[in-house]
Amino acid sequence: MRRLIIIIAAALLVTARAQAPQPPPIVLSPTIPGDAKITATTVSIDAFQPDFDVYSWNTFIALNWPPGPNGNGDPKQTIGQNGDNDTVWEHYRDVRDVFLPGGKKPSWNGPPQPVPPQCKSLYKPGMRLLSQVGKTPTVLTDSSQPFNTGPIIDQNGIYTRFEILLNKTMFDYILNNSLYSKAGQKVFTPPVKFTCGVLATSGSPGVEGAIMVKSAWKVIDPSEKPTFHSEDVLVYSPASQNPKYAASCSAKTMGLVGLHIAHKTQNASQWLWSTFEHVDNVPTDADVKSGKLKTKYNYYNPACTAANCPPNQIPPRPWNPTKVSSFHSQVVRMNLFNLPIYKASADARNADAWKLLATVNPQSVWLNYELISTMWPTNPSGKCGAAPGDPLGTPAPTFLANTTLETYLQRTPPQPNVSSQCIECHNNATMTVPVASDFTYVLQRAQ
């Protein structure tokens, strides 16, 4: 199996050398890359990681490109040309509209689920609804004990909200295999095998594989709009018994603070995991230790000492997202990386991307987002499959966390099953029946 990757890498190396000159590594393009393009001329983590980080930025740019009428990136427009813009991924299907009550069949262009009664007076056509207060409510919030995790509350005492959306490739697989319902899952013949993306070549346009996007949002003041990708949405909190509160809804301006992009590809059947954050979210552990802090963060108060505000603490219960909390999450990005290349590569690619985005518009909101890293399988087997003896594909980096989505999974030194590890964790996912679900938990939402 190791020989296979060496052969692949050698072949890619020959290809890379044959294709001179190399295209610019990060490009302003609405095309989502079908896979990572390996241009490295040596086989090492140090050499390969930059290629995966370039892939992540190209994917981020394409997904945040202004969409045309068909939902795909509009080549006549450019990301950030007007500062902020509507995005491709926000026209993907929200899982709420895929796994419908009663296991009803969804449709890609169908209307969104009915607006809850509490939201009706506030609703304007096209408005989005954000309701989740955990990354995956059925897994991490409603059944949070195994992960011992909880909500993240910003420096204004407001709960962060989340949503998960699926691209059409992933939606179509779920639809065509009737995996949108418990009944369909029950009669499905395993394995679940989502479509893999394929890199475009001179003779082929490539394939967009299954993509999941998980986003994290915080309430912002309208004056903060120039520094966030923002949306005016309805924030809905369903009624709860413990703690007891009634359903409520409010119209808010929300700023994007975190974005996970997972893409299943030909050379990464374990999916490629790219994670981005707003640059003002949190300081790093090294920033805190050195005292090199910004004056303000979304999830960290630089004026509060570690004794008074211990970092990365789970908010005390009860968790009530309908109220302003006196607890403010004091979040620090811990260093989960065992090799310096991961941060160095992300930093270098961030600088490259920001330079490029600034050429479109120096006021682009997208200049406020940074890649944290890209997790990829170093032993992928290829051909949209995993090596039987190494199904996780020995990921690099071994651990990776987004501070808005895996806030409390940043234990250091990193530990398997405890510290955030995208591929390892998602490898445990199943459907509503005891069948592995190909690295996604969303199929557990089927009704």
Which residues of this protein are in contact with other proteins, per CB under 8 A? 1-3, 5-6, 9, 43-45, 48, 190, 338-339, 378-379, 387-392, 394-398, 414-417, 424, 427-430, 434-436
Q: For residue 396, what is the enclosing H or E element?
A: strand 395-396
Helix, strand, or coil (residue 304): coil
Least Å distance, CB 27 to other proteins, is 25
15 vs 107, beta carbon nearer other proteins: 15
Instruction: Give me the least distance between CB of 386 and other proteins, in Å please.
Output: 9
Task: Please identify, using beta-carbon distances, which residue of 69 and 388 lies nearer to other proteins.
Answer: 388
Helix (H) or strand (E) holding 17: helix 2-18
Residue 251 corresponds to which tokens in the numbers above?
Answer: 């119209």
CB atoms under 10 Å from CB of 260, counted, come to: 24
Specify the residue, 45 or 251, whose C-beta has the smaller distance to other proteins.
Answer: 45
CB of 43 to other proteins, least distance (A): 4
Q: Which is nearer to other proteins, 323 or 411 (CB)?
A: 411
If you search the block for the tokens 């004990």, which residue do you land on?
145
In one-letter notation, the amino acid at residue 328 is H
Q: What are phi and psi of 72, to 5 degrees?
A: -80, 165
Give me the least distance between CB of 404 and other proteins, in Å please: 24
Sequence-ordered list of residues with C-beta below 8 angstroms from that of 377, at least 6 positions apart, any chain: 267, 268, 269, 270, 386, 392, 393, 394, 395, 423
**Least spacing, CB of residue 411 vs other proteins, in Å:** 11
Expressed in angstroms, the distance from the first to the final Cα of the chain is 40
- In the bound state with other proteins, the residue whose beta carbon lies nearer, of 6 and 303, is 6
Cβ at position 264, least distance to other proteins in Å? 14
Residue 45 or 358: the one with the smaller Cβ distance to other proteins is 45
Rounded CA separation 62/92 (Å): 13
In DSSP terms, which residues pair with 370 in a beta bridge? 277
Which CB sits closer to other proteins, 306 or 418?
A: 418
* Smallest distance from other proteins to CB 2, Å: 4
Q: Which residues lie below 8 Å from residue 416, measured CB to CB, with a gap of 6+?
A: 424
Outline where DSSP puts E strands in 50-181: 93-94, 128-130, 161-166
